Structure 1
Amino acid sequence: MASSGSLPSLARQCRDRLNDGRGRIESRFRAGLPSVQTATALTDLYDDVIEKIWQDSLERASSSVKASQLSQLSLVAHGGYGRRDLSPYSDADLMLLTTRRSAAAAAQVASTFVRDITDAGIDCGFSVRTPRECCTLAWADAKIYTSLTESRLCFGNEQTFDRYFDRFRAGARRRRNYLNHQSLMARREERHKWGETNYLLRPNVKRSRGGLRDIQLVRWLGFATHGATSLEQLNKLNALSDEDYGTLRRAHAFMLRLRHELHFRTKRAQDVLDRPTQLDIAEDWGYQGRSGVLPVEDFMQDYFEHTRGVRYVAAYFHDDTRIRSRAAGAVESVMSRRIDENIRMGPTHIWVKSNTLEQFAQSLPDVLRLIQLANHHSRRIAHPTWQAIRKSMQDREATPPDQPAVDAFLELLKDPGRLASLLRRLHELRILDQLIPAMGRCRGLLQFNAYHKYTVDAHCIRAVEAATDFIDAENAMGRRYRRLKDKGLLHLALLIHDLGKGYEEDHSEVGRRIAGDVADLFHLSADDKDTLQWLIHKHLLVNEVAFRHDLNDPEVVHKFAAEVGSISRLELLLIHTVADLQAVGPDVLNDWKMGLIEDLYLRARRYFETGNLPGENEADLDSKIEQVKESLAEKKLDPSLIEFAKDMPLSLLRQHSTDDLIHEMHQVGEWLTHNPGCYCAGAVDPAASAVRYTIVLRQGERRVGVFARITAAFSACGLSIMRANVETVGEDLLWDQFWVNDPELKQRQPESRIEEVCRVVTKALDDPDSVMPTPRRVWQTQGAKEPSSVLLLPTKVLFDNDTFDHQTILSMFTYDRPSLLSDISGTLSQLDVVIQFAKIDTHLDQIADVFYVTNPDGSPITDSDRQETIRNALVDAVRKPLP
């Protein structure tokens, strides 16, 4: 684009006028000008600039084109510009409408008009069309159709515009079913691209589900069905109820203000609400937060409340616009049967008879029973019935449920069916808030971190959905779920398990009290109340033990089993845990985590059934050990390896088949027999999407710093450690396994890359006095990583001396960054902390690492001053800036 100084005089004047006008409007916006008036002022500004360029283009063309031809032209705004709904840096969709006789004149005007408007600084979508072409293209392309529904005559011939728009509107009415379907499909495709609003951490205020585009969808559907796009007109035509009209108006004002804010801040067309901006806007808009809820979470709760309302209104408006086939309706009616005096059920739908519908819809117990029947029989509730229920429930005063309503709700929870989708409908009508008061506080509550993808209420319902999906699963989880006698209690627990979030106190503690209140409200038995409270209170227990402890340690399994108490509770907790993890977000429950959960379950179940802990009376493992020992003896390998085989870690025994274990032991044995240094080998692990490195080392006098040197070596090679198992066996032999992510593996031969990494590792370990490898510097493009301003959670360093007498469990929770594990392990090494075992768990931007540690003399770290020294040093290491 040409510089401002080289622009023609008119374009330069218009550009200056546009910039000055935006500045004045921003000042008024900051002073409190409402968002709709701001959009109107911006539209007037665009109109003013565009009119000057339009008139100039007509004057230039008049020297070579007849005035009669120019007089037939119309300049038409459409899309957001057409409905006067602009944000500061929105583009302007314009169409030069022409008759066939004035086509040459239109081409002459367009050539100068497009150039000048672009030079003036307006991003313009422009076309030249006849009325016939407009309609033909619109019927074939949903994007063109939806944009043209909001056409507005800017300048030019009014008759030309009226002929076009009357023709367009009449054609749309005749094709309303087809065009409404195409509009909906186009919107679904866009929503799929930009994701669910309640899922996105960085929502697009225009295109994400429930955003401004869904309000536009109502207008598009209204145009074909009722001939009007104005929400006010649709309300006057009774196409939009007063309640829905108010919901859309409030949401439009909120999101339009937010879009204006994003444009003014960035000085460009910006519709993505990233996390740093969420923080800034929450502060600038005066959100204070509340106990346990950050200001940014308070702001985003408002945002999600508006998007949820838009989603529901748009969905119901679409249902209202659909014209159902008479034949399908007749078949449904003829093949229906009577359920009771009010309810009938056909092959696909269930409904309430029209003569009793109004009274029926006012009864919460009756409504819940209908929903329970719909779930049990896998039928959809007919739209007229649901609309009547929706209107009645919106008008109903919120009151505690009576026993018939509670009984109907508990019956609903027992049946997987379409439970999750029906719970969402109950949540939409705020019926869940009446049944479970704590649900209202968590409506739209965002957890401001990159781990939790959904709001608390959406996550809880998704957890129920994840559990009900097990009903058809042909695996162990499916079998366990199907044999549960009381699925209703599990579904209730999942529905309320995270409602303790948003308080200063630990959410599991708050959740236990909420579970007690719910149990009392629902009049559950004492046993069911106890189970419900226990399940909510301990719903993170499996994660804590499986992901952060050594499952080969009998004491760990014994304490876990004692906490659980029975096989029935074990299975209930297992299914709850897996459903909860699946509902957090994509790829949270990976194969590695599922393997650890399954491993813990099997060990605990074995203990309940036989009384044996890991390593006790396991004939298959004993046999494997004997075969390995015999194989090593035949090879006449290093005697220390045979001694190692006698006391082999259970993790090693269980991870490999007998043949694979013998092969690996032979490789290690051959190396240790003939080489004084460490053994390092790597192999691609497809199941974990990682490279697994095995490192075996005679420690000798070295008890401190080995882990630090290994992690530093990996960091120097540009590897990210996903997880690690560190085992010290006997007095001398260290056997470690690391699963790492290697970005270079795809660009290189795996064998040569693995050899290169092993050389770096062995050099670091075989020469302990050498300088530690320097972490590779990581270059990131702008925007690749979020700024530290969004990292609001504090670093936690916890010491546990209650689980074991002989060692301390050090747990660390913080945000991840390149070479962090190397810095942590290096810090522990400098403080003479010996790492006996480690479990590394990294997901997205957070880590939860656990180390079993001792002092150099092998004693646990119990001294409070030493603990504080270690804690402070680790926090400093986390804050260490990148090189």
Structure 2
Amino acid sequence: MDTATAMDLSRALRKGEAAPARSRRRPATRPQGAGNRRAILDRAKLQDSIASLVLRASTPERARSEILELLKGALAQGREEIRRRFEAGASGRTTAALLAWQADQVLRLIYDHVGQDLYPLANPSMAERLAVVAAGGYGRGELAPYSDVDLLFLLPYKTTPRSEQVIEAVLYFLWDLGFKVGHATRSIDDCLRQARQDVTIATSLLESRFLWGDQALFLEFRTRYAAEVQAGKGAWFAEAKLAERSRRHQRYGQGSRYALEPNVKELKGGLRDLHTLFWIGKFLYQVADVDKLVDKGVFTRAEARTFEKASEFLWTLRCWLHYQTGRNEERLTFDLQHAIAPLMGYTAHGGTKAVERFMKRYFLVAKDVGDLTRIFCAQIEAEHNRRSRFRLPTLGRRRRVGGFKLEGDRLTVKGPEHFDEKPIDLLRLFQVAQANDLDIHPDALRWITQSLKRIDKSLRETAKANQVFLDILTGDKDPETALRRMNEAGVLGRFLPDFGRAVSLMQFNMYHHYTVDEHTLFAVGILHAIEQGKLREEAPIASSVVHKVLNRRVLYMAVLLHDIAKGRPGDHSVVGAKVAHRLCPRLGFSPEETETVAWLVLHHLAMSDTAFKRDIDDPKTIQDFAALVQSRERLNLLLVLTVADIRAVGPGVWNAWKASLLRELYWRTEEVLTGGFSTEGREKRVEAKRGALRQALEESAERFEPDWIEGFLDRGYDAYWLSLDVETLLRHARLIRVAEAEQRLLTVDTRVDPYRDATEVTIYTADHAGLFNRIAGALAVAGANVEVARIFTHKDGMALDIFWVRDAANGGAFDKPSKLAKLYAAIEQTLSGSIRPLTELRRQAPNLPSRFEVFTVAPRVLIDNSASRNHTVIEVNGRDRPGLLYRLTLALARLGIMIDSAQITTYGERAVDSFYVQDALSSKIESPQRLRAIRKKLLEALGDGSCAPAGTAETRGRKGAAGGVKAPVGSPKTKKRSARGQM
């Protein structure tokens, strides 16, 4: 007799019961590649140790703490071994299977100890039978490193006192061991009744797996589940799961699989989508694995392999996420993308970062999951003879459209051989569907995917095929949807190999929200919406200008190609222009059209760079931009392209402020190109704005006095009137009149701008040295990130500065009273000199969220003396962080540099700030030695976040020496300030 048997017999004799039978302890299914599982956990050895501890204790209860320590040590050692194997190359699915297996063994040990030592029962009645069942993902035999364990305690009838004691004891053991347990206690009747009513419960029970206890009870449950829940309910289950899937997609990613920081479990194209397919397949076809779906005709062998590969990739990624964070983390944030890329075997190659190659693979896998979903849904539809809910009744009697079969509202072909006979139909099918507002049958899309090799060099060089593609791109009916279908099916990347290189390519930054191909298709859709007049309110000038464009297909092709060279070595604009020169003639473009497309691709960032980084109130800026554009046609084309490009970057990127800057740049450049750029043209616009404001003031309920109105209209320089709309100017007039009436030294006004999701902070006070720098410091101290700054000085020496700020902590607007109070106090105390921003910022030591620290933006300082007639333009590029604007302006102030205007711009993690500056004599800064000093100090500010040792004066800024808010309202300035522009 072996030791274990002797201990079992001894324990049984002590309890007055027969020795327990070991035959019921079936081994779990061995995970592929599991290796030596006893090195993870040896259940037999642990069971002997538990029996020994119980024998030594006076009562079984007194052995509990020692048993817990024993199991904790075994769990920790086993988990460490599983992680070691994973990091040595074991797959994510093998790791998940081993973690589930380990949990199985521990739970069986606990159940045996509770049932045999703590609450023994020699002859349980029928009502006291109990089975422990794994549910949910754990039921599949998969468990991520930090996931919950879902358990069902299955009863034949209602709970008995003994069953309740056993269940409670098992749960307390599991909780004390650190397991996160989701559990339910139900009878078979309860399970079946709830499963028929709730698809979530039906799904959890569908995946149930026997763990321990009364196996016959579990088998009874499975038999009844198949007969009472599954039988005849396939359509209900499939529809409910697909509807649940759609709601989940909207909740986690607005229906797009190309989210910036995807949730690899819940987002479209993630693990949950694969689970959904498997659940539906298991429910409908009673299959245990994906391979069986091949036998059922749902998937081909190749598609089943795609399913397995996608599952393997996503499980490996999920395990890395859990291990890297030490928690149940499913979101692939920026910092984790950067950390996991090399762990998944990705390195930099061909000008593409390792993280970008890794994320491209992720998005390609997500696309594969989408393809499998489409194929699977088609099979369900065919199986249940269901039609699309979007069927068009008027087409019900038509059998063929454009030479293609029509099934319901979907175009299809007789079979995959159709595309062997007519390869051009690989393109034409999308054209006919687009022209007739039809969908494409999933079977046809599947056959297209299988026939992609037919899109070869010969087809690509066929004039008819190229014309079909251009008809799709420039079609009057929704080109975005047609191109998106082509991209999903792989046709677009095969027909335009250059586009294929950009498919699923992620740009690793915080500015771009989508992959390059997704961004491009959005841009095409936005261009079409502009042309259809759907964006008149958001983009009125572009909506008007687009109809002045002489050549539509040039514009559409430029939008399609503007980012096509992303991810390649070199400037993507330059490389993209070369692609346009090569591709456009193939598509039938004339030399003149090709040149225009290439020019637009080369300069597609020029208009936004000029509008957002340069002072467009400076005539030299407008003249330089007009010299680049050269014609009204190119100006019109570039404006529409720029608007489509910016709006397609992502939610919240386009706003009214950017629209106003582009509009102003367009109008002023158009004046130059039509010979109307002159002081007279500028004066007319100023007078028109002043006239509109005069009328608004006269009609205002506040009853402004005529003399006050005329005095106010005489205060501002031209830039002030041209840069702001009448509503804003009217608000300023009210603010200034109240400040004068109450003799305020400082007026701070805040207004939440929901369109920008930012807070507009307006500051009105006497201009003095260091003001701009001090305000920037105060905002940083208050925890505000400056998104946009527009600074003005009136002729009476009063400064009126406008800042759009967001909360540095959460990115939203400053809208809570406590935060606004802190902002007011910080501004007042900084301007009065009672707090020093640099000292306060060092004390606060604000840190960027860790997920942003992975972004590296090479510090760059560009100094340009040719961009303006009267100013030196300094452009500073670096990684954005709290207080950056303050540190930059402080560095300039300490050098005695006078800032006349500033353009503050952020592109995700990148800050691009431009300053129009002069020396103390109001001249350009041209001394090489001085320019070197400026560059050095600004690079220091960008590099380490400091500008000088603590204790150095912080107050030199706007124009010379330091000073607090001392000048009374309306006090004159002895030296006239030059007008300061905006951004």
What's the TM-score, normalizing by structure 2? 0.79
Query: Is the aligned partner of 1:180 residue 2:238?
Result: yes
Alignment of 1:624-643 (within 5 A): none
In structure 1, distance between residues paired with 2:307 and 2:575: 35
Q: Match for residue 860 of structure 2?
A: 796
Residue type at the aligned position of 1:189 = R
**What is the rounded CA distance, in whole Å, between the counterparts of 1:254 and 1:730 in structure 2?**
65
Change (3 A) 1:587 1:158: same
In 2, Cα distance between equivalents of 1:821 and 1:326 = 59
Q: What is the alpha-carbon distance in structure 2 between the residues aligned to residue 647 and residue 330 of structure 1?
A: 61
Report the counterpart of residue 191 of structure 1 in structure 2: 249
Distance 1:855 1:634 in 2: 40
CA deviations 1:645-678 (Å, max 9, x no partner) are 3872233345243x98588569759978998x97
Instruction: Letter of the 1:201 partner, please give it.
Output: L
Shift of 1:728: 5.7
2:556 is matched with: 491
Question: SS at the partner of 2:411?
Answer: strand
- Residue 435 of structure 1 corresponds to 495
Give the Cα separation in 2 of the matches to 1:192 and 1:757: 40
The code of the aligned residue for 2:236 comes to Y
- Give, as a single letter, the amino acid of the residue that structure 2 aligns with 1:682: D
Which amino acid in the other structure matches residue 53 of structure 1?
Answer: I
Counterpart among 529, 536, 549 of residue 469 in structure 1: 529
Structure 1 partner of 2:759 = 690
Aligned to 1:855: 919
Q: Distance in 1 between matches of 2:183 and 2:622?
A: 69
Q: Which runs of 5+ in 1 are unaligned?
A: none
Aligned partner letter, 2:433: A
SS in 1 for 2:95: helix
Q: Does 1:407 align with 2:467?
A: yes
2:477 paired residue among 417, 421, 444: 417
1:314 and 2:314 matched = no
Aligned amino acid, residue 452 of structure 1: H
Q: Which runs of 5+ in 2 are unaligned?
A: 1-61, 699-703, 951-983
Q: Name the structure 2 match of 1:870.
A: 934
Where 2:424 maps in the other structure, the secondary structure is helix
Distance 1:634 1:793 in 2: 53
- Match of 2:91? 34
Which deviates more, 556-565 or 587-596? Answer: 556-565
- Name the CA shift for 1:299/1:7 in 2 (closer, same or farther; >3 Å): farther
1:719-757 CA-to-partner distances (Å, cap 9, x unmatched) read 433322234677977654433447896343999888756
| Paired residues of 2:759 and 2:814 also in contact (CA < 8 A) | no
- C-alpha change, 1:491 and 1:62, in structure 2 (3 Å) is same
Tell me the distance in 2 between the aligned counterparts of 1:501 and 1:692. Answer: 37
* Structure-2 change in CA distance of 1:6 and 1:714 (3 Å): farther
Number of residue pairs matched by the alignment: 864
> Residues 137-216 of structure 1: matches in 2 within 5 Å?
137-170=194-227, 171-195=229-253, 198-216=257-275
Alignment of 1:281-680 (within 5 A): 281-322=340-381, 323-325=384-386, 334-336=396-398, 338-340=400-402, 342-344=403-405, 349-352=409-412, 354=414, 358-360=417-419, 363-393=422-452, 401-403=460-462, 404-470=464-530, 471-473=532-534, 475=536, 476=540, 477-481=542-546, 486-609=551-674, 611-613=676-678, 616=681, 618-619=683-684, 621-622=686-687, 645=714, 648-657=717-726, 661=729, 664=732, 680=747
Q: C-alpha separation between the residues in 2 aligned to 1:15 and 1:698?
A: 69
Contact 2:257–2:267, Cα closer than 8 Å, also in 1: no
Q: Which moved more, 1:666-675 or 1:53-62?
A: 666-675
Query: Where do 1:768-807 residues align within 5 Å?
Result: 774-775=839-840, 785-786=849-850, 789-807=853-871
Calculate the aligned-residue CA RMSD, in Å.
Answer: 3.9
Identity of aligned residues (%): 27
Question: What amino acid maps onto 1:335 in structure 2?
Answer: R
Q: Distance in 2 between matches of 1:778 and 1:498?
A: 43
Amino acid at match of 1:422: A
Tell me the SS of whatever aligns to 1:512: helix
Cα distance in structure 2, aligned partners of 1:72 and 1:519: 76
- Classify 1:266/1:558 alpha carbon distance in 2 versus 1 (closer, same or farther; 3 Å): closer
* CA distance in structure 2 between the partners assigned to 1:423 and 1:638 by the alignment: 56
**Are the aligned partners of 2:524 and 2:556 in contact in 1 as well (CA < 8 Å)?**
yes
Instruction: Give the SS at the match of 1:318.
Output: helix
Secondary structure in 2 matching 1:24:
helix
Question: Tell me, what secondary structure is at the counterpart of 1:8?
Answer: helix
Partner of 2:19: none
Q: Deviations over 1:817-841 (max 9, x none)?
A: 2221111100001112221211112
Q: 2:777 aligns with which of 699, 712, 720?
A: 712
- Check 1:320–1:616 CA distance in 2 against 1; reply closer, same or farther (3 A cut): same
When normalised by structure 1's length, the TM-score is 0.88
After superposition, the Cα gap between the structure-2 partners of 1:870 and 1:115, relative to the gap in structure 1 and judged at 3 Å, is same
Q: Rate the CA distance shift 1:718–1:420 in 2: closer, same or farther, 3 A.
A: same
What secondary structure does 2:212 align onto?
A: strand
Alpha-carbon distance in 1 for matches of 2:936, 2:522: 39
Q: Residues 284 and 69 (structure 1 numbering): CA distance in 2 closer, same or farther, change over 3 Å?
A: same
Aligned CA distance change for structure 1 residues 573 and 333 (closer, same or farther; 3 Å): closer
The offset of 1:411, in angstroms, is: 0.8
Q: Secondary structure at the match of 1:503?
A: coil
Distance 1:235 1:638, change over 3 A: closer
- State the alpha-carbon separation in 1 of the partners of residues 366 and 779 from structure 2: 45
Aligned to 1:821: 885
User: Does the 8 Å CA contact 2:751/2:761 hold for their aligned counterparts?
Assistant: yes
Letter in structure 1 aligned against 2:340: I
- Alpha-carbon contact 2:127-2:157 (below 8 Å) kept: no
Q: Shift of the alpha carbon at 1:45?
A: 1.3
1:47 to 92, 97, 104: 104
Deviation at 1:593, TM superposition (A): 1.2
User: For 1:93-104, what aligned pairs fall within 5 Å after superposition?
Assistant: 93-100=150-157
C-alpha contact 2:774 2:831 (8 A) present in aligned 1:
no
Partners of 2:813 and 2:730 in 1: CA distance: 31
Which stretch has the larger CA shift, 562-571 or 292-301? 562-571
Give SS of 1:518's match.
Answer: helix
2:512 aligned counterpart, secondary structure: coil
User: Would you say the 8 A contact 1:368–1:409 is kept in 2?
Assistant: yes
In the alignment, residue 542 of structure 1 is paired with which amino acid? Answer: M
The answer to which of 397-406 and 836-845 deviates more is 397-406
| Distance in 2 of aligned mates of 1:787 and 1:366 | 47
Bigger Cα displacement from structure 2, 275-284 vs 386-395: 386-395
In 2, distance between residues paired with 1:517 and 1:724?
42
Look up the SS of the partner of 2:850 in the other structure: coil
